[in-house]
Chains A and B, each alone.
Chain A
């Protein structure tokens, strides 16, 4: 009996040591990857800005974007309830409340259907579905007039509803 305990303890201690070691190597790398992804996402959805100030509102962190000294807009988080789990997005809106860009940070939609919300067409460099929203008012966003994703109504609606909900809350709070 005592031998069982000793063996299991030994196995676990070794495993913990190994994992601690690997974690200490990968932790800064993972943090750097996250940081890089975030910076890239901010640049993609608010390309004109050159400075992003992190602030907080009830829906999470947002970034106030500046071009030189002029505040030109915000990037806010938005979460849509997709077909399989949350669709986490980052949405850029200018001072007039118009969308400047949308970046999907994470989604688990069905490949070939809902996952096409981030599909990039041949010879293009931005997802065609999300590009359609640029220039529209974030707080009154609707699917009307938008080319939806075939067979993925829930995903299309989740994105629109998520953005609208977060935009309404955010604009109400900062004004």
Chain B
């Protein structure tokens, strides 16, 4: 049995959901245009991931294999709806800027992927650590991508102007900027791993 820390650590670098597993790229590309959105999405997804991994691993022996996917989806959708309601009630500004991508966490393949690949086969403790590691890995990836894109595309970091007179490249906050940033970061990460 692997150590608890290894289970947590793997999601952050070696099996990073964004840079290594290439899961959940749609929200990654869409909401990483500024840091606040990236961070908000990262926290929301981590909460859903943690909740669904804990519940799914604790009921894994009760659920027949044939209907496991619908059960997982119901559990995940429940957590996503909770997040959506909480965001609307307590962080309406963030809710408005994340928009449709909050309900779409339901179909974020990181979450169903971890439920299927990990939580359905492991104990609650391991699944919770796996969720935390993967969630933080996802959040860090979003943070890195969104920092680069916000700085180059809007000339700001977290909304604050960093360099006076810097002319931002609008392409960086648009879809091509997202794809280029992600591609280069994946390449960089692969190079790091290969050394």
- Contact between A8 and B174 (Cβ–Cβ < 8 Å)? no
Cα distance A110–B153 in the bound complex, in angstroms: 12
Q: Mark A104-140, 1 if CB is under 8 A from B, else 0.
A: 0010101111000000001000000000000000000
Q: Is B1 an interface residue (CB 8 A)?
A: no
Q: Give how many B residues have a beta carbon under 8 Å from the other chain's beta carbons.
A: 32
Cα distance A29–B153 in the bound complex, in angstroms: 35
Which residue of chain A lies nearest to B67 when distances are taken between CB atoms in the complex? A4
Residues of A within 8 A of B121 (CB): none
Given contacts A29-B89, A108-B99, A112-B33, contact A8 B82 (CB under 8 A): no
Given contacts A22-B85, A110-B173, A110-B174, contact A8 B33 (CB under 8 A): no
Closest chain A CB from B50 CB (angstroms) = 15
Task: List CB contacts (< 8 Å) of A1-51 with chain B.
Answer: 3-4, 7-8, 11-12, 15, 18-19, 22-23, 25-26, 29-30, 33, 37
- Contact between A4 and B64 (Cβ–Cβ < 8 Å)? yes
Residues of A within 8 A of B64 (CB): 3-4, 7
Cα distance A43–B64 in the bound complex, in angstroms: 57
Residues of A within 8 A of B89 (CB): 25-26, 29-30, 33
Residues of A within 8 A of B154 (CB): 111-112
- Contact between B170 and A112 (Cβ–Cβ < 8 Å)? yes
Contacting residue for B174 out of A12, A19, A112, CB 8 A: A112
Main secondary structure of the interface of B (DSSP, over half): helix
Contacting residue for A19 out of B78, B96, B153, CB 8 A: B78
Contacting residue for A18 out of B34, B63, B82, B90, CB 8 A: B82
Closest chain B CB from A46 CB (angstroms) = 22
Residues of B within 8 A of A15 (CB): 74-75, 77-78
Cα distance A8–B72 in the bound complex, in angstroms: 10
Residues of B within 8 A of A37 (CB): 92
Q: Is B104 an interface residue (CB 8 A)?
A: no
Residues of A within 8 A of B59 (CB): 11
Closest chain B CB from A150 CB (angstroms) = 8
Cα distance A23–B86 in the bound complex, in angstroms: 9
Q: Is B70 an interface residue (CB 8 A)?
A: yes
Closest chain A CB from B61 CB (angstroms) = 11
Contacting residue for B71 out of A8, A19, A26, CB 8 A: A8
Q: Mark A130-158, 1 if CB is under 8 A from B, else 0.
A: 00000000000000000000010000000
Q: Is B122 an interface residue (CB 8 A)?
A: no
Which B residues fall within an 8 A CB radius of A?
33-34, 59, 62-64, 66-67, 70-71, 74-75, 77-78, 81-82, 85-86, 88-90, 92, 96, 99, 153-154, 161, 168, 170, 172-174
Which A residues fall within an 8 A CB radius of B?
3-4, 7-8, 11-12, 15, 18-19, 22-23, 25-26, 29-30, 33, 37, 106, 108, 110-113, 122, 151
